[in-house]
Structure 1
Amino acid sequence: MTKHIYLLLCLALSLCQSFGQQPATTRKVITQFYVRAVDEKSQELLPVDLEIRLYKAKKEYKAHNEPWLTPFMFLLYESDTVEVKSKSDGYYSYTEILVATCDTCPVYQHTITMEKKTPLFDNLKVNDVIKLDRIYFDQSSFILRSESYQQLEDLYKALKENPTLKIEIAGHTDNVGNAKLNKLLSENRAKVIHNYLIGKGIDSQRLSYVGYGQTKPVSPNDTEENKSKNRRVECIVLAK
Structure 2
Amino acid sequence: MDPVIENLDLFAAGFLRSLGLAAWAGVGSLVLGTLLAVFRISPVPVLRGIGAAYVTFVRNTPLVIVLFFFVFGIPTLGVNASNYTLATLGLITYTSAFVCEAVRSGVATVPAGQAEAARAIGLGFGQALSLVIMPQAMRAVVPPVGNVLIAMIKNSAVAGAMGVGGDLFSVFARLVSSQGEARLPVITGMAIGYLILTLLAAAALAVTERRMAVAR
TM-score, structure 1 normalization:
0.24
Higher helix share: 2
Higher strand share: 1
- Considering only CA atoms, is the larger Rg found in Structure 1 or Structure 2? 1
TM-score, structure 2 normalization:
0.26
Q: Which has the higher contact order (CA 8 A, sep 6+)?
A: 2
